Amino acid sequence: MTRIFSSIALVALFATQASAQTPPAGQAAPQAPSAYYPAPPPLQAPSVQQGVPTTGLSSPLPPTQKVERTEIAAETEAQLFIDARKIVWGRHAKIKGAKAGDVTVTKQGNLWTIKGRIDSVAPGTEGDWASIDGVVERISAGIVQIRGEVAFRVAKVEKGTPCKVAGTLTFRRSGKSQVWRLAEGDNPCDGTREAFDLVYEKPVEKKPVPTQPKRS
C-alpha cells in the first residue's frame, strides 16, 4: 500500500515539473542551459567603423618660430644690455672667494645673441657651474627676453646632472640697477631660487694720449 502511494506522489511531482517548464500559449520556450555565461557568443562580431589614418597629424601646440630679428622697443635699455659683461650666481655668491662669470652679448646683423658661463671657485663648490646660451627676442624698458636655455650644475643636486630652464626667458631690471635677473630662475630639480644675474659693466674709456710738443 505504501509503494502505491509513493508511486502516485512521484507521478504527481513529474507532472507538476512538466507543467512548470511548459510555457503558456503565445510565449517562447526558455533558453536551454549553456556552457557560456551569460549568453553564447554571436556568430559574427559587430562591424567596427574604420578610424582616421594617423599619417599627417599635427601637434596641438603652435610650432616654435625661429628668431630672425631682435625687436628693440627701448633703445636706452639696448645700449645698456649690449654692455652686459658679468654673471653673478646667487646660490654661491655669498660664499667667501666667489667670483663672477663672463657673458658676451653679440650683434649679428639684426639679431643679438648671448652666451656665457660662470664656474664656481668658492671653497666647497668647485665643479659647480651655470651657463646661458640663446638669442635675444625683445628688449624693452627694464625687460630683456631671451629664447634659449640657462643650465645649473650643482654637485649635490641630481648627482651633478645639469638642470635646465629653457624657452623664452625673461630678465628684469628695475630703476637705476645695473643687473638683469632671470625671472624663471627656480632650479627645476630642487626648487632653489638661483638668482641668476646678468650685470652691466661700463666699458673702460681709453682716453687719447695728448701729443707731446716737439722739443727744439
Determine the residue type at 153: R
Residues 5, 8: Cα–Cα separation, whole Å: 5
Q: How confident is the model at residue 210 (pLDDT cuts 50, 70, 90)?
A: confident
For the cut 80, the answer to whether the pLDDT of residue 204 exceeds it is no
List pLDDT tens digits, range 104-113. Answer: 999 999 999 9
Q: What pLDDT shows up at residue 208? A: 72
For the cut 60, the answer to whether the pLDDT of residue 4 exceeds it is no
Domain boundaries along the sequence of the chain: 75-200
The sign of the torsion formed by the CA atoms of 64, 65, 68, 71 equals negative
Q: What pLDDT shows up at residue 60? A: 47
Q: What pLDDT shows up at residue 45? A: 64
For the cut 60, the answer to whether the pLDDT of residue 9 exceeds it is no
Q: How confident is the model at residue 142 (pLDDT cuts 50, 70, 90)?
A: very high
Q: How confident is the model at residue 35 (pLDDT cuts 50, 70, 90)?
A: low
Contact 125, 141 (CB under 8 A): no
Contact 130, 115 (CB under 8 A): no
- Rounded to 5°, the CA angle 104-108-114 comes to 25
Q: For the beta carbon of residue 127, count every other beta carbon within 10 angstroms.
A: 11
Burial class (CB in 10 A: 0-12, 13-18, 19+), 207: exposed
Q: What pLDDT shows up at residue 59? A: 46
